[in-house]
């Protein structure tokens, strides 16, 4: 079996990626617009057609440029005389205008929203395919052909990846470009040539233009860059004086080349922002700055930010950096401000420190969690064994130095995972498992490394038995998305009884992001006895567009509750019931608890029938 996989591995890759691409394209076609796509899509289209970044400046432009390219060939109607573009008469235009623009482009300007969604999503799917192939290549380098297939399977059959790899958001993009950046960074660390420094700088610039959370990688990259030349192995034949000289020379060689790489990255940032702000008036950027950081704010940091950004904006050459750093500061401000969400029978704008750990444990597949646990236990055993041997041999420092010299890939990736996880857990922004996507490919790689290191040191008979166990886990991973198609966004593992129970624990993009409105239409088509349905929908779709004259708008405080059919998004449902600060039974959806749902659309929309009116 092992030899057969090695011999025919290209066909195995083809089979895996065929499944991956097929379900991605099907969901790109069938999923309704998610909440955030309404902001990202018009931004991408306007960046390409207008060279103006006034929409959605809190995210960098690279991914939106890519999604805007196919849209530019569709001859879409997009009226730049409307308020969402000009800002005339709207105090919150730079915040709300992107959503108004999205609704205009998708549903109000005479365009085909399903066509727009599919073609905008296609570049994101392509990026996700490239990430999968890149992970195979990296896995092959660290663990051979089987290791490459192993890491590719972990990625391509993760229902959470399949749930988001076709949406016009930054989640898959940052996962991909951060992985690329780490690979070329480590390549530079191992072989610090000017060529590798330049390539690393290019990818550092590209990832900076994908999502601002990439900044979290800079501390790890900086520490490794400064520390590695101090412990890198050099010739043992040199005298101590000569060795110190060579090590100092090596340190400054790394430092100079890394500074050059950083300079290249900032040039890449300038080029991309210049291309996207070429037609953007100075006063528009000034209005963005003053909206986000008012000059009359009592917060000294806000005043200083306004001053610095205004200075950059006053120079035509530096203006692209004004827009870039505006986005960076907007993200930090948003994270500090929080994001109201339902979690464990509570609605709060203050993040819970158990949010991400629990969501990860509930939404990742059980076999992958088992592989993570195995990897951690095996790593702990390795450390313990090495430590005990080092004490006996009195070589703790020597062995630790050897690990720093040979394990740079492992501690660089693991260090970023720890830092990113810590900042996510302690931050004030609970926005779903997708927020952890930057560390997921790195986790797949580290798990693969540990599994194959473990197998490599075992006796043939033992290794064969362990391979059977790992094969069972991999088969389990492969089966999960097959049986859960197409409901990947709302996937939860068996520990809570499956995906249908996920909304009881958490909502938003973990369950209900608006993706199932089209499937609600299918449900109504299959049940012609339903002539009218009261809908409270959360997402980026337009119920009136998809449901036609069957659609009746409803909301939680609407009274009386009339006889008839109701379709309520689980995000709206749970947020209403458990928002104790702002809602009471007279104004929330508590009344739904006396009825059993008739059906559940994609695990995200509850269907109720009310036989008698409720006052």
Query: Which residues neighbour 327 within 8 Å (Cβ) at sequence distance 6 or greater?
Result: 57, 58, 59, 60, 212
pLDDT band with cut points at 50, 70 and 90 for residue 382: confident
Q: What Cα–Cα distance (Å) separates residue 481 from each residue in 334, 475, 484, 504?
A: 34, 11, 5, 22
Contact by Cβ (8 Å): 21, 125: yes
**pLDDT at residue 432 is higher than 60:** yes
Per-residue burial over 301-338, b if 16 or more Cβ lie within 10 Å, else e, is ebeebbebbbebbeeeeebbbbbbbbbebbbeeebeee
The predicted model gives 332-346 an average pLDDT of 77
Q: What percent of the chain has pLDDT over 90?
A: 73
pLDDT band with cut points at 50, 70 and 90 for residue 459: low
Nearest one of 32, 136, 205 to 605, comparing CA atoms: 32
**pLDDT at residue 337 is higher than 60:** no
**Joined tokens for residue 588:** 């929330």
The predicted model gives 597-609 an average pLDDT of 96
pTM for this model (two decimals): 0.94
Other C-beta atoms within 10 Å of 369: how many?
15
pLDDT band with cut points at 50, 70 and 90 for residue 238: low
Q: Report, in this order, helix, strand and coil percent for the chain, each rounded to 5.
A: 70, 5, 25
Query: Which residues neighbour 471 within 8 Å (Cβ) at sequence distance 6 or greater?
Result: none
Nearest one of 82, 73, 77 to 111, comparing CA atoms: 77
Stretch among 41-50, 171-180, 202-211, 226-235 having the lowest mean pLDDT? 226-235
Per-residue burial over 150-189, b if 16 or more Cβ lie within 10 Å, else e, is bbbbbbbbbbbbbbbbbbbbbbbbbbbbbbbbbbbbbebb
Other C-beta atoms within 10 Å of 208: how many?
24
- State the pLDDT at residue 3: 72
Spatial separation of the C-alpha atoms in residues 404 and 584, rounded to whole Å? 58
**pLDDT at residue 149 is higher than 70:** yes
pLDDT band with cut points at 50, 70 and 90 for residue 2: low
- In 3-state terms, what secondary structure has residue 340? coil
C-alpha dihedral (107, 108, 110, 112), degrees to nearest 10: -10
- State the pLDDT at residue 461: 60
pLDDT band with cut points at 50, 70 and 90 for residue 41: very high
pLDDT band with cut points at 50, 70 and 90 for residue 609: very high
The predicted model gives 315-335 an average pLDDT of 88
- Domain positions in the chain: 1-169, 281-337, 344-484, 507-610
DSSP-derived letter for residue 457 is T
**pLDDT at residue 495 is higher than 50:** yes
Query: Which residues neighbour 192 within 8 Å (Cβ) at sequence distance 6 or greater?
Result: 253, 254, 257
Helix axes 440-456, 460-484, angle to 10 degrees: 150
C-alpha dihedral (116, 119, 125, 130), degrees to nearest 10: -140
Element (H, E) at 357: helix 355-363
pLDDT band with cut points at 50, 70 and 90 for residue 235: low
Spatial separation of the C-alpha atoms in residues 77 and 606, rounded to whole Å? 35
- State the pLDDT at residue 90: 53
Instruction: Give tens-digit pLDDT for 62-107.
Output: 999 999 999 999 999 999 999 889 876 555 544 578 999 999 999 9
Stretch among 236-240, 260-264, 563-567 having the lowest mean pLDDT? 236-240
**C-alpha radius of gyration, the chain, whole number:** 26
**Joined tokens for residue 92:** 């919150």
**pLDDT at residue 109 is higher than 60:** yes
**pLDDT at residue 240 is higher than 70:** no
Q: What φ, ψ does residue 566 adopt, rounded to 5°?
A: -135, 135
DSSP-derived letter for residue 591 is G
Instruction: Give tens-digit pLDDT for 283-293.
Output: 999 988 988 88
- State the pLDDT at residue 93: 46
The C-alpha angle 54, 57, 62, rounded to 5 degrees, equals 105
Spatial separation of the C-alpha atoms in residues 448 and 442, rounded to whole Å? 10
**pLDDT at residue 239 is higher than 80:** no
**Joined tokens for residue 364:** 């990742």
Stretch among 226-235, 265-274, 313-322 having the lowest mean pLDDT? 226-235
**pLDDT at residue 318 is higher than 90:** yes
Contact by Cβ (8 Å): 556, 589: yes
Average pLDDT, the chain: 91
Stretch among 55-59, 244-248, 521-525 having the lowest mean pLDDT? 244-248
Question: Could you tell me whether strands 533-536 and 551-553 are parallel, antiparallel, or unpaired per DSSP bridges?
Answer: parallel
Contact by Cβ (8 Å): 178, 438: yes
**pLDDT at residue 377 is higher than 80:** yes
Choice between 239 and 429, residue whose per-residue pLDDT is larger: 429
Contact by Cβ (8 Å): 105, 99: no
pLDDT band with cut points at 50, 70 and 90 for residue 404: confident
pLDDT band with cut points at 50, 70 and 90 for residue 232: confident
The predicted model gives 451-458 an average pLDDT of 85
The predicted model gives 135-156 an average pLDDT of 96
């Amino acid at each position: 079996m092992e030899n057969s996989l090695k011999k025919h591995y290209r066909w195995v890759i083809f089979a895996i990626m065929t499944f991956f691409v097929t379900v991605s394209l099907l969901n790109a076609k069938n999923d309704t617009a998610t909440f955030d796509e309404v902001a990202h899509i018009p931004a991408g289209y306007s960046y390409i057609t207008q060279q103006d970044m006034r929409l959605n400046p809190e995210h960098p432009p690279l991914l939106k440029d890519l999604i805007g390219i196919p849209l530019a060939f569709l001859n879409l109607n997009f009226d730049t005389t409307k308020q969402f573009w000009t800002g005339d008469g709207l105090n919150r235009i730079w915040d709300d205008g992107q959503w108004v623009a999205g609704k205009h482009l998708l549903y109000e300007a005479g365009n085909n929203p399903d066509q727009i969604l599919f073609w905008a999503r296609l570049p994101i799917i392509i990026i996700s395919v490239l990430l999968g192939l890149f992970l195979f290549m990296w896995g092959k380098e660290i663990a051979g052909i089987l290791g490459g297939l192993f890491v590719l399977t972990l990625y391509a059959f993760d229902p959470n990846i399949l749930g988001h790899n076709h949406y016009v958001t930054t989640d898959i993009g940052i996962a991909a470009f951060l992985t690329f950046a780490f690979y070329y960074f480590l390549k530079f660390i191992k072989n610090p040539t000017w060529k590798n420094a330049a390539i690393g700088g290019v990818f550092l610039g590209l990832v900076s233009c994908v999502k601002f959370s990439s900044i979290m990688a800079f501390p790890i990259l900086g520490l490794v860059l400064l520390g590695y030349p101090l412990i890198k192995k050099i010739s043992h034949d040199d005298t101590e004086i000569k060795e110190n000289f060579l090590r100092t020379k090596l340190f400054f060689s790394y430092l100079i080349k890394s500074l050059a790489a950083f300079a290249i990255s900032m040039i890449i940032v300038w080029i991309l922002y210049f291309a996207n702000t070429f037609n953007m008036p100075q006063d528009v950027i000034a209005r963005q700055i003053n909206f986000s950081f008012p000059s009359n704010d009592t917060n000294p940091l806000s005043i200083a930010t306004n001053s610095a950004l205004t200075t950059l904006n006053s120079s035509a050459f530096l203006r692209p950096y004004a827009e870039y750093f505006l986005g960076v500061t907007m993200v930090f401000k948003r994270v500090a401000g929080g994001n109201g969400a339902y979690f464990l029978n509570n609605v709060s704008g203050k993040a819970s420190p158990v949010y991400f750990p629990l969501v990860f444990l509930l939404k990742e597949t059980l076999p992958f969690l088992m592989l993570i646990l195995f990897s951690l236990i095996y790593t702990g055993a390795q450390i313990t064994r090495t430590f005990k041997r080092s004490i006996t041999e009195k070589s703790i420092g020597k062995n630790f130095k050897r690990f720093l010299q040979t394990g740079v890939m492992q501690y660089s990736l693991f260090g970023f995972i720890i830092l990113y996880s810590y900042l996510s857990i302690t931050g004030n922004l609970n926005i779903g498992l997708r927020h952890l996507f930057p560390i997921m490919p790195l986790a797949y790689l580290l798990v693969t490394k540990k599994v194959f290191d473990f197998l490599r040191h075992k006796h043939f008979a033992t290794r064969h038995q362990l391979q059977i166990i790992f094969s069972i886990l991999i088969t389990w991973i492969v089966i999960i998305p097959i049986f859960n198609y197409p409901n990947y966004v709302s996937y939860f593992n068996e520990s809570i009884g499956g995906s249908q129970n996920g909304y009881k624990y958490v909502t938003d993009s973990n369950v209900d992001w608006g993706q199932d409105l089209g499937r609600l239409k299918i449900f109504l088509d299959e049940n012609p006895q339903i002539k009218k349905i009261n809908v409270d929908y959360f997402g980026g779709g337009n119920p009136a567009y998809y449901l036609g004259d069957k659609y009746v708008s409803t909301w939680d405080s609407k009274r009386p509750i009339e006889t008839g059919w109701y379709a309520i998004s689980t995000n709206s449902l749970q947020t209403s019931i458990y928002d104790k600060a702002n809602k009471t039974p007279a104004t929330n959806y508590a009344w739904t608890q006396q009825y059993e749902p008739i059906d559940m659309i994609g695990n995200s929309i509850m269907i109720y029938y009310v036989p008698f009116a409720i006052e």
